[in-house]
Structure 1
Amino acid sequence: MYNGDGFMLSWTKGLDSCGCTATPDSFIGPFVDPGQDLVHLDLAFDNAAGNFKLHATRIVTNFKNLVDADIDSNKIYIIENGNTSGLYEFTLPVKQATFVEPITDDKELILYPNPARDEITMLVNESGTVSIKLLDINGQQLLTREWKNFDKVERHITFGCSDLASGCYTLEITKGNSITFKKVNIMH
């Protein structure tokens, strides 16, 4: 499911903020508001409702004749050709990613070396299917692998990590119905 943030510039002409009916040539826009605004959009899935919910928050109001906008990292640049005509810069707060290492007593799986440089090896003492997902600190899935039909013997599974940036990662290991999370540090 998608969870995320977005931004949009609202441009509406010809209606008042109470939503009164407009004439056909009034250039109706999305917010039924005579202003032109920078709006933050937050889209999240609501499990209880079984649907997405959208929260919209006006950040800046009353632009006039917006020309263009660009997002670069945590800054939004807006060009206006009205009122004072100019380039505006808005700095947004940056969400800090956090990492919590779950406690696990998994004696069936050993991961080495940790920190890793070029490759990571898992020692698996499990039968059946084993799959892994390597996630970055923001939860983005970077790598997926699956091995099927393991016997109940010790197996060494090796996969490369030389193309990944140095940093902290999470390895999600699925064995049958159990999921284990291991912290992996990569240092080049």
Structure 2
Amino acid sequence: MCTASVTVIDNIDPVLVCQDVTVEVGPDGTVMLDPLDAIDFDNTIEACGIEISAVSMDDFSCDDIGTPQEVTIFVSDPSGNLASCTTTVTVVDLLGPEVTCPADMTVDPGGDNLLYEVPDYFADGLASATDNCTDPVTVFAQDPAAGSFIGDGVYTVTLSAFDEYGNEGTCTFELTVESILGVQDSALDSGLVLYPNPANNQVILSNNTNILLDKAQMFDVNGKLVNTIDLTGMQGEKTIDISQLASGVYIVQIEAENASVVKRLIKE
């Protein structure tokens, strides 16, 4: 009777298969590759298991966007057998710029201005944008657009910024346009009513004050004068034909001898 010791050895290198991988840079503009993401385990062969021993490159940044990088991955099994494969790493940026809006604000058109001209919030330094890859950010948009004219009311302003890869970031704030009225203006404002509003073909102007009116001017949202109505000495009610106007929002400035008020009219 004799005994024998059997030593099992593994001297077969793993069969390592790589797959291409896409990685996304983070807010700091960098990303680390997890080598395991680049291994095709469905087609990799190794009975005893593998572990990563080295990677030719695993740290990427915005500078690598647009230029796929070849990366070699080295593995070993528990017996020290080695294998390697090469993968192509594509770096992308999917994060939009961070946009900072001004706080909600209330503005007065000022003086005898009928409408408020919307400023360019980015150009005026009231808004800003930063991006993980694009520095500086130079492509902006806003709604309502800079240079447009708006009447009294509350508006949601949307500011947008775009990086060089087309990613968009936005923020919003509330803009209140409120004309500061004098005593006579205030009395006229509270005593004048446009109805129905919205209206279709006709709108009625009701003057519930003892103030004699002069005229009314209607402007579209771009500040273009579209109609002038003679209201000389008007008290009571007057029916105004708006059938020729296109559907939309109109600003109506109603004037008396020593007062002026603005109303908003919606034409359906």
TM exceeding 0.5: no
Computing the radius of gyration from Cα coordinates, the structure with the larger value is 2
Larger helix proportion of the pair: 2
TM-score by length of 1: 0.43
TM-score by length of 2: 0.33
